[in-house]
Structure formats: structure tokens, C-alpha cells
């Protein structure tokens, strides 16, 4: 039941974020016809992202105590199942790194997931996609905590 509440809350947060961006755009009061047309287009696509921006979906998983190393490794099947969902630009996952301990480093999680999407439409579809929901249903018994961070990030070529 806790998992279902988490999924519903996450969906509601995305919906609220989408409504909020529409309200902000509406409050901008464009003055020219071109600005009004652009504002309408942005509201319809629910995004004002620039060409070099993507959505980064970063998730931390804390797996249950007492799992065997094999069970922990098998959990990676969760991420493998997600790879087939349309709209994913790239998907990366892994275990916490054994970096030097510092006050700002938190390596207490077991796995992390980093997924990039081109825009809000793609991440919104991902969140409710049957493959995503089935993977959550199948693998949620392995975790005791999940934290999600969604951000609009600029792509910088190095």
C-alpha cells in the first residue's frame, strides 16, 4: 500500500508541476501577437525548455537489509526492464561508489538510476507506462526507501 501511495504522490507532484508552469506562462501577459502565439504553443506542449535542455530523472534506491549479494545484483533486472520504454533518451544505473568519505558525500544508497528525457511529455509517459509500473510492482519488495530528483538540465559538450 505504501508503494501505491508513493506512485500516486509522484504522479500528483508531476501534475502540479505541469499546472504550475502553465499558470506562470499565463501570468506573463505577452504583448505582441508573436509572444502570444509562442506562449500558447508553450502551454500546449507544457514546456518552455530550451533546445540544449533535457529532463534528468535521478533515483536513489536503498535495498532491504538481509538481502544476499546475489539478490542485490539481481535487482539490476529492474533497470534492464525499463530500457525498453519509449521516450528514454539514455538510461544509466549502478551501485554506490566507494569514494573517499567526506561530509558532503552520501553513499548510503544501494543503487542509483539516471534517465534522460527530451521533455516533459516523455517523462510523463514514462511515469505511467505499463512496463514501468510492472517493474515497480515486481521489484518494490526489494527496497525500503526510494528518493526521486527530477531536474531540467543543460547539455554541455566538453
> Do 14 and 91 fall within a single domain?
no
> Do 76 and 117 fall within a single domain?
yes
> Do 19 and 68 fall within a single domain?
no
- Measured between alpha carbons, how far is 98 from 135 in angstroms, rounded to an integer? 28
> Do 55 and 69 fall within a single domain?
yes
> Do 28 and 62 fall within a single domain?
no
Work out how many domains the chain is built from and give that number.
2
> Do 66 and 131 fall within a single domain?
yes
Q: What is the pLDDT of residues 72-83, one digit of tens each?
A: 999 999 999 999
Do the beta carbons of residue 5 and residue 11 sit within 8 Å?
no
SS3 35: helix
> Do 28 and 69 fall within a single domain?
no
Residues listed for the chain: 158
For residue 2, the model assigns a pLDDT of 53
- Measured between alpha carbons, how far is 97 from 11 in angstroms, rounded to an integer? 30
Q: 87 — alpha (psi -120 to 50), left (phi > 0) or beta?
A: left
Q: What domain range is 56 assigned to? A: 49-158
Return the CATH number at 129.
3.30.70.100
- Measured between alpha carbons, how far is 14 from 46 in angstroms, rounded to an integer? 11
For residue 123, the model assigns a pLDDT of 97
For residue 157, the model assigns a pLDDT of 79
Stretches where the chain sits below pLDDT 50 are 1, 3, 6, 12-32, 35-36, 38-47
Amino acid at each position: 500500500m505504501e508503494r501505491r501511495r508513493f506512485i500516486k504522490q509522484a504522479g500528483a507532484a508531476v501534475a502540479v508541476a505541469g499546472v504550475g508552469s502553465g499558470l506562470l506562462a499565463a501570468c506573463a501577459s505577452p504583448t505582441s501577437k508573436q509572444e502570444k502565439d509562442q506562449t500558447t504553443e508553450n502551454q500546449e506542449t507544457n514546456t518552455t525548455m530550451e533546445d540544449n535542455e533535457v529532463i534528468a530523472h535521478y533515483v536513489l534506491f536503498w535495498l532491504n537489509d538481509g538481502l544476499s549479494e546475489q539478490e542485490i545484483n539481481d535487482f539490476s533486472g529492474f533497470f534492464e526492464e525499463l530500457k525498453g520504454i519509449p521516450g528514454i533518451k539514455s538510461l544509466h544505473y549502478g551501485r554506490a561508489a566507494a569514494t573517499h568519505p567526506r561530509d558532503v558525500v552520501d553513499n548510503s544508497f544501494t543503487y542509483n538510476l539516471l534517465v534522460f528525457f527530451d521533455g516533459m511529455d516523455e517523462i510523463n509517459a514514462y511515469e505511467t507506462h505499463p512496463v514501468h509500473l510492472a517493474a515497480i510492482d515486481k521489484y518494490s519488495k526489494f527496497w525500503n526507501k526510494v528518493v526521486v530528483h527530477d531536474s531540467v538540465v543543460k547539455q554541455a559538450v566538453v
